[in-house]
């Protein structure tokens, strides 16, 4: 029997609540299959830890996490700790240190979910976003000159490496090829005259190795518009770190809301642990009240199962979410229901076993 060692970082705000429910579901799934089980180890890192110890995680945090098969993370961020500290020193450093260069985000309108778009049919929104996750606009490189003076100037540098750009595009072509889908690249070469010209060149080059994959290419502004006016154009999408960040939130908005947005941060070579986390933030204003919606965290857990090779269980979870959405009996207020967080998790446990 295989044991998967999972590092759990519940984090801040509603993070712990939603992660709890995800773990309930994962445990139940592992009971259904005698071939594997999960071993969860909790790490109390995050903003509360920061206020006590002046750092977001242990000094050797990355080393500690290295031993695990995967990381399951809730949410990070709390008033009082500047976001660029809380995120860079926990979420972003994990993505980068473990070379989780693929950020996988389904933008799919589930059956029973409500889209904010008028005149949209359920099958019109079924995309898979593949976002570069380690470099680009989020390189962290920059400079702050002449602070406080008239000529003060601040630089933020995007860094697109050959290796980093090629591997994410190649990964996306592999997915599109396997699934027989169109691959769309999103960039902005007309204004970003170095980075995005390079991106487009690499996309063009790599496409030569995949003559059977149909491709399309849009500017980021046009893409943001078309996701709203004509979402069915998009199937598999590859884009940069920042553009992926923005567009997957557009995706969340059109595909049932942020309460249904799941994400996986993948190191495809499996040299390091991959990380699974809902896209939503820590929502400190509703923490501790049973109001938070655990479905995105649960969907992320299903991505973990996919990643371990148990796609059939991943599907069971997603179908279970659809069942809850269709029945509309056990949902949190943001989804139009009146259940509390743990009731949604309990119901999910019930439906995945039935």
Query: Considering the complex, what minimum distance in angstroms separates the CB of residue 83 from its own copies?
Result: 4
Under rule CB under 6 A, residue 193 binds ligand IPM: no
Which secondary-structure segment (H or E) carries 85?
helix 83-86
Under rule CB under 8 A, residue 122 binds its own copies: no
Compute the half-sphere exposure of residue 98: CA atoms within 13 Å on the CB side of its CA. Answer: 32
Strand partners, 128: 106, 236
Under rule CB under 6 A, residue 3 binds ligand IPM: no
Cβ 92 vs Cβ 127: under 8 Å: no
Q: Residues 150-189: x/- map of binding to ligand IPM (CB under 6 A)?
A: ----------------------------------------
The structure tokens 């996701």 sit at 227
Which CB atom, from 142 or from 309, has the smaller least distance to its own copies? 142
Cα–Cα distance list, 95 to 130, 194, 245, 273 (Å): 14, 25, 14, 10
Identify which range of 35-43, 100-108, 188-196, 299-307 contacts its own copies by CB under 8 A: 188-196
E runs forming strands in 65-109: 70-75, 102-108
Q: Which of 46, 74, 77, 337 binds its own copies (CB under 8 A)?
A: 77
Q: Residues 277-306: x/- map of binding to its own copies (CB under 8 A)?
A: ----x-------------------------
Query: Considering the complex, what minimum distance in angstroms separates the CB of residue 289 from its own copies?
Result: 21
Identify which range of 22-30, 36-44, 155-163, 208-216 contacts its own copies by CB under 8 A: 155-163
Strand partners, 183: 215, 236
Count, residues near ligand IPM per rule CB under 6 A: 8
Cα–Cα distance list, 103 to 14, 135, 243, 340 (Å): 22, 12, 12, 30
Cα–Cα distance list, 142 to 151, 157, 161 (Å): 17, 5, 16
Which CB atom, from 243 or from 310, has the smaller least distance to ligand IPM? 243
Main-chain phi, psi angles of 328, to 5 degrees: 55, 25
Site for its own copies in 4-63 (CB under 8 A): none
Under rule CB under 6 A, residue 221 binds ligand IPM: yes
Rounded Cα distance between 18 and 278, Å, is: 9
Under rule CB under 6 A, residue 124 binds ligand IPM: no
Q: How far is CA 174 from the centre of its chain?
A: 19
Identify which range of 17-25, 36-44, 195-203, 283-291 contacts its own copies by CB under 8 A: 195-203
Cβ 281 vs Cβ 91: under 8 Å: no
Q: Which of 30, 103, 184, 195 binds its own copies (CB under 8 A)?
A: 195
Query: Considering the complex, what minimum distance in angstroms separates the CB of residue 177 from ligand IPM?
Result: 26
Residues marked active site are found at 138, 188, 221, 245, 249
Which CB atom, from 9 or from 279, has the smaller least distance to ligand IPM? 279
Query: Considering the complex, what minimum distance in angstroms separates the CB of residue 111 from ligand IPM?
Result: 25
The structure tokens 């071993």 sit at 39
Cβ 162 vs Cβ 269: under 8 Å: no
Cβ 275 vs Cβ 98: under 8 Å: yes
Under rule CB under 6 A, residue 191 binds ligand IPM: yes
Under rule CB under 6 A, residue 116 binds ligand IPM: no
User: Residue 213: which of 248, 238, 244, 249 has the closest Cα?
Assistant: 238
Question: Contact residues for ligand IPM (CB under 6 A)?
Answer: 87, 91-92, 190-191, 221, 245, 279
In the complex, the residues that contact its own copies under the rule CB under 8 A are 77, 82-84, 86-88, 92, 115-119, 137-138, 140, 142-144, 146, 149-163, 188-198, 220-222, 224-229, 241-242, 245-250, 252-254, 257-258, 281
């Amino acid at each position: 029997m295989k044991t998967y060692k999972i590092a759990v970082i519940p984090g801040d705000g509603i993070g712990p609540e939603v992660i709890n429910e995800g773990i309930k579901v994962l445990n139940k799934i592992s009971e259904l299959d005698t071939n594997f089980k999960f071993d969860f180890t909790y790490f109390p890192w995050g903003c509360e830890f920061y206020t006590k110890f002046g750092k977001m995680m242990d000094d050797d945090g990355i080393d500690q996490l290295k031993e695990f098969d995967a990381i399951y993370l809730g949410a990070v961020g709390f008033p009082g700790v500047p976001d660029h500290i809380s995120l860079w020193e926990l979420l972003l450093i994990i993505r980068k240190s473990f070379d989780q260069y693929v950020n996988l985000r389904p933008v799919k309108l589930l059956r029973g979910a409500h889209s904010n778009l008028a005149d949209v049919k359920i099958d019109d929104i079924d995309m898979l976003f593949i976002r570069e996750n380690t470099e680009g606009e989020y390189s962290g490189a920059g400079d702050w000159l002449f602070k406080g003076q008239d000529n003060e100037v601040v630089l933020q540098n995007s860094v697109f490496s050959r290796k980093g750009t090629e591997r994410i595009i190649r990964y996306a072509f592999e997915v599109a090829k396997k699934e027989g889908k169109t691959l769309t690249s999103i960039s902005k070469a007309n204004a970003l005259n170095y980075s995005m010209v390079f991106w487009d060149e690499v996309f063009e080059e790599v496409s030569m190795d995949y003559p059977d994959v149909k491709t399309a290419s849009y500017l980021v502004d046009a893409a943001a518009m078309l996701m709203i006016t004509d979402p069915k154009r998009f199937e598999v999408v590859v884009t940069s770190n920042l553009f992926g960040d923005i567009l997957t939130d557009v995706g969340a908005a059109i595909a049932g809301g942020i309460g249904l947005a799941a994400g996986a941060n993948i190191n495809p070579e499996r040299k390091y642990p991959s990380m699974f986390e809902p896209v939503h933030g820590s929502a400190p204003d509703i923490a501790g009240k049973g109001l938070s919606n655990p479905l995105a965290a649960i969907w992320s857990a299903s991505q973990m199962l996919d990643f371990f090779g148990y796609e059939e269980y991943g599907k069971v979870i997603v179908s279970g979410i659809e069942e809850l959405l269709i029945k509309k009996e056990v949902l949190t207020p943001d989804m139009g229901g009146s259940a509390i967080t743990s009731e949604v998790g309990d119901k999910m446990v019930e439906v995945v076993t039935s």
